[in-house]
Amino acid sequence: MKRIAIDFRNIQSHADIAAVFNSIELSSSSKILITFDFGGHEKIYSDYLLLLVSIIKHFEQKGVSIQFQLDNRDDKDKLDYISRVDFFKNLDIGYQEDFERYRTIGRFTEIRAFNNENAIQLYHRMMSVLAHDEINVEMLAVLNYCLWEVIDNTLNHSGEGFTYGNGSGYGCIQYFPTHKEIRIIISDTGVGIHHALTRHPNSKYKDLTEKQAVLASVEKGVTNGEGRGFGLWATAELIKHNKGKMQIHSGNALLHISDKTEIVEAPYWPGTYTTFRLNTNIPVSEKLIFGENSSILESYLDEREEDGRAN
């Protein structure tokens, strides 16, 4: 049996999780033991845990037989947090919770799988975390638009065969009021951006390399011919105006967006994940991104009014 050690003292970036799984060759008949060590002083974020769930489930679906072992149980608070975001539950790892589960509204969502049937519920839950007075309403409106676009991209472009709704993924969000920060991740283990952008029969971008394709995915109007090419572009613009951070990792290409944009070679991720870190105390204007005729704020306010009526 092969062994993969996930020691969070050695995980410094999201790409490090991909690297751990690149270090071992897995086939459908492989049997592996994954050991987890959540020790160390660093805080563990749910977006890292989600990536683990996403890639482990990917290998399980390919027929790899996986067993788990929890090596370090010293830090109970950390393990309780890991359990509270449903990391253990997603992987069917037994963990005895001896705390009360308070409602997550306004703070975080658990790690959730989504597909065409339940994506809208996850999106609503993620947006409910953000309904705080600390975040300016225009930024909320833009985020509302961008978050759905990234989720819908996963549904429409990560699956095989260029068929809408064929894709699936995982998503979660966490709000850190003390640091005035929101962390979001949407992940899939599908066909990847390069495939989705260059292989579609109507694509104008068939000659792009993987790095070029990932870089192009945040340019306005870049699409494989199906959508309008606004989703990732608008998200990148939001991040830049907000002085936040965004990563798009697909295949071997990793795009970093902050005050500068950088594309680098990275360990292979089988599909695509997008992470955002937003500052809740830096307002963003929707018109700066979408122009004077934007409908983003108006439609968001209508949506909120409708939600208020329904509740």
Tracing tokens 């359990």 back to the chain, one arrives at 83
CA distance 221 to 216: 9
The helix/strand count (H/E) of the chain reads as 11, 8
**Among residues 45 and 114, whose Cβ is nearest to another protein?**
114
Q: For residue 246, give every residue at least 6 positions away whose Cβ sits within 8 Å of its Cβ, in sequence order, or none.
A: 235, 236, 239, 255, 256, 257, 258, 274, 275, 276, 277
For residues 94 and 221, which CB has a smaller minimum distance to another protein in the complex? 221
Site string for another protein, 31-70 (x = CB under 8 A): ----------------------------------------
Span of 26-34, 39-47, 143-151, 260-268 interacting with another protein by CB under 8 A: 143-151
Instruction: Give the number of C-alpha atoms closer than 13 A to the C-alpha of residue 108, restricted to the C-beta side.
Output: 21
- Report the residue from 116, 212, 258, 285 that binds another protein according to the rule CB under 8 A: 116
What is the C-alpha to C-alpha distance for residues 116 and 159, in angstroms, rounded to an integer?
11
188 binds another protein (CB under 8 A): no
The reply on whether position 294 binds another protein by CB under 8 A is: yes
- Residue 148 near another protein by CB under 8 A: yes
Is residue 276 within 8 A of residue 184, CB to CB? The reply is: yes
Please tell me whether residue 228 binds another protein under the rule CB under 8 A.
yes
Query: Which spans of this chain sit near another protein (rule: CB under 8 A)?
Result: 116, 119-120, 123, 145, 148-149, 152, 155-156, 164-165, 221, 226-228, 230-231, 293-295, 298-299, 302-303, 306, 310
